[in-house]
Each structure stands twice: as C-alpha cells, then as structure tokens.
Structure 1
Amino acid sequence: MNPSPPLLDVRELVVRYGAAVAVDRVSFTLRAGETLALTGPSGCGKSSTAAAVLRLRRPAGGEVWFEGRELTRLGERELRPLRPAMQPVFQDPYGSLSPRQRIRAAIAEPLRVQGRWDAVTGPARVAELLETVGLDPAHGDRLPHELSGGQCQRAGIARALASDPRLLVLDEPVSALDPSVRAGILNLLAGLQERRGLGYLFISHDMALVRHFADRTAEMRAGRIERIV
C-alpha cells in the first residue's frame, strides 16, 4: 500500500529580493499531522520560505505543491479557494489583529470574506472557536489591547481556525510571549494537531523548543537547508 502524498511538498524553492537570494533551492515535505520546524539564525531565510509557501510572496523559482496542486504558477483568482486551507499564525499577537476591531469581529472576518458567515449560526461558531482555544466567549467583546499577550495569541489561533485549515504556518508563535505563557500555547497547538490532523510548518530560532515540539527539523543557513533531522 502506497503512503499518502505529502500535505506540502516544496521543491527547489528560490526567493529573491532584487538581486539578493534569500532562499536558495530549498526542498522539504510535510505530512498531515506532522510538525516540521525551520530553524536557523536571523536572516537565514526561514520567514521568506514561509511567505513563499503561503504565496504572500511569489517565488523566483521552484515549486510548492499543496494537497497535490502546484501553487507557484496560479493567479490570485485560482489561489483564492485554496487560501483558507493554509493559514498563518504570526509572532506578534497584537500586531496580527486590528487594534480597533473587537476579537469577535476579528474571528468572524474570515468567515465573512469566504462567504461562509451565517447570521444565525455565526455567533455560535465564533463562541465555539474561542472556547476551542481556551478563551471565555466573553473575551470576544474585548479589543486586543484589553487582552494579555497569551490571550491575544489564542485569539489569533482562533481566527486561523475559522477557515478550517489543514496547514498552519507558525512563524515564531511563542517567542514574543513570557516563558510562563509559552507552554500553554504549545500545549494548545499540540492538542489541536492531535484532534484535527493539522500539519505545522513551525519557524523558530529556539533549538531547545524545536527539539521538544517538532517531529523533524530543517536547519537553515544563508538561504539553504543544511540538513533535515
């Protein structure tokens, strides 16, 4: 019996900023339910790789296959129905949410944009998402600055989950949080992965954290993957 194809298959990816090469022929695979960490020093190409995977930046070369579809040559109209399945969670829990938008509205926004908002069932869906990430539904009435950093990151994760993704790209998701809060966020992510079979592309410079959280680690330097362990 043949194994299932990878959720994400990156082949010879190249990202350039002008003449500078930020990502130089990077290749890796990620399966559903697996966490692959990209690690390495600042400026080594981790976040540029993530941006290209999410098609927030068009690669200069190579291929990105997601659930059997090659993304790099797709136009925005063709990408639009695929974007909900690939969601980012960013480093700055406050910067990823509008400071003037209440948490409830921020979580509902992806549903509205994707045409999946229902005035009857939508509020219950938002409350369910808040509970899923360990927040009281009453937190939905607050603005981001009225939450702690850990609570705000949980709200960001709830917003990502609203799209029913199969891949989360986690770009330093706990590095801006107090050490006492990090374990709770990592435990939340681990539980979500176990229940939902999510694939995680986990970007971090913290090797101790990566060894604890990731199934495999791709070590990057100067735009290249030196080894995957």
Structure 2
Amino acid sequence: MTPLLDVRDLVVRYGAATAVDGVSFQVRAGETVGLVGPSGCGKSSTAAAVLRLRRPHAGEVRFDGLELTALSERRLRAIRPRLQPVFQDPYGSLSPRRRIRAQIAEPLRVQGRWSRPAGPERVAELLDMVGLDPALGERLPHELSGGQCQRAGIARALASAPELLVLDEPVSALDPSLRAGVLNLLLDLQDRLGLGYLFISHDMAAVRHLSDRVLTMRAGKIVT
C-alpha cells in the first residue's frame, strides 16, 4: 500500500548551514510517527518542508503518491486541505481579533464548503469534537485558556477534512495538567477519523504516549 507520507533524502539548508541532511521516513494512514530530538536538530525544518512552507534543497516529499516538491502553487492549493499543521503556540496560531467560530469557519469558506445552516452546524460539531462547548466559538482567543486555544486550533485543522496532521510541539506550551487531555484527544480523533500524524516533540514521554514508531534526529539526521 502507498504510504500517506513518503519523505526521501530530504535536505533543507539556511545559507551555508544544513538543517536537514538526507532525512527519509514514511507515515501510513492511521499511524503516528514520532520525531524527537534536541532543539535545533532539524525537526521543525523537516515539518516546514513536509508542509511546503519551505522548499527543500533536495529530496522528495510524496503525499499519497504525489510529489509535493514538484507541484505548482495552484496544484498545491488543492492538496493542502488534506495535509494540515497544528503549531506549538496556541495563541500565536490564531488571529487575536477574530472570534473562534469565524476562524474555524474560514477553511470551509475558502474551500467552497460553506452554506447556511450547514456551515454553522459544522463549526459547532467541530468544537464539540475537540471537547469544547460550541458557545465558546463566540469568544476571542485571549478569552480562552491555552488548552482551549490548542483545541480550537485542532478544530480549525479538522475543518479541512485532512488525512494527515503535522503536529509540531503541540503540547509543549501547555501546563502539564493540560497536556494529557490534548494527547488523549489526539488519540481519540485518530481512532474516529483514521488520521495519520507526524508528531514532532522533544518530550519523549508525550511521544511514547502517542506514537506507533519513534524516530530520533540529531544534527539534521535521523539516527535511530
């Protein structure tokens, strides 16, 4: 079976410095692959290249058999809903001036899937799916806790009906008391929706809790 994500000999450079040096791995549908390592080892640069937020200098990133590094921006726009990020900073990843419901609705509007009353109903369903009272959709991000904001960010990612989530340190900014709740939510969503996860973290306990396989990076390379 074709892997959902197939990264081959990936290289990312910043000037003369090589951040990612020949990295290869696969993620299958419904599987969580953990990517761990110290700060500066290349984990986030790998995530940026997988998401095509940064163009790699060499190598391939295949999603469901499609070579993303070779696609035009127009063709990438059609693929991006299937491959969604969840970032580290729950407040920084949301607009501070827009209500939560509007931010979750935005992917539905952009992708032409918004209508009344189905659109608002879908937003309420997504909030409920991530364990938030739909009434919280009326609030601004600063009116929510960090854990609630991260759940709202996950709901926004799910609005695109993705097949793969790239989770870049999704619980590292949360209090320890909130981390387990978000990790268990991710496990529940994976079980319900069949999502694949690339889970990036320096927290080995979190990675072991969530992952089927764990890869370790050091100095831009996968060492185990």
> Structure 1 residue 141 and structure 2 residue 138: aligned?
yes
Residues 2-35 of structure 1: CA deviation (Å, up to 9, x unaligned): xx21100000000111121110010000101110
2-structure distance, mates of 1:214, 1:51: 20
Following superposition, the deviation at residue 73 of structure 1 comes to 1.1
2:171 is aligned to 174
2:35 is aligned to 38
1-structure distance, mates of 2:212, 2:67: 25
Matched position secondary structure for 2:189: helix
CA RMSD of aligned residues (A): 0.7
Matched position secondary structure for 1:29: strand
1-structure distance, mates of 2:205, 2:132: 28
Count residues in correspondence: 224
Following superposition, the deviation at residue 119 of structure 1 comes to 2.8
Residues 114-164 of structure 1: CA deviation (Å, up to 9, x unaligned): 122113210000000000000111000000000001100000000000000
1:200 is aligned to 197
2-structure distance, mates of 1:142, 1:220: 39
Please, which moves more after superposition, 206-215 or 127-136?
206-215
Matched position secondary structure for 1:106: helix
2:207 is aligned to 210
2-structure distance, mates of 1:162, 1:114: 10
Following superposition, the deviation at residue 221 of structure 1 comes to 0.3
Alignment of 1:72-83 (within 5 A): 72-83=69-80
- Could you list the runs of 5+ residues in structure 1 that have no partner in the other structure? none
Following superposition, the deviation at residue 207 of structure 1 comes to 1.2
Residues 83-132 of structure 1: CA deviation (Å, up to 9, x unaligned): 00000000100000000000000000111111221132100000000000
> Structure 1 residue 23 and structure 2 residue 20: aligned?
yes
Instruction: State which of 64, 67, 72 in structure 2 corresponds to 1:70.
Output: 67
- Could you list the runs of 5+ residues in structure 2 that have no partner in the other structure? none
1:103 is aligned to 100
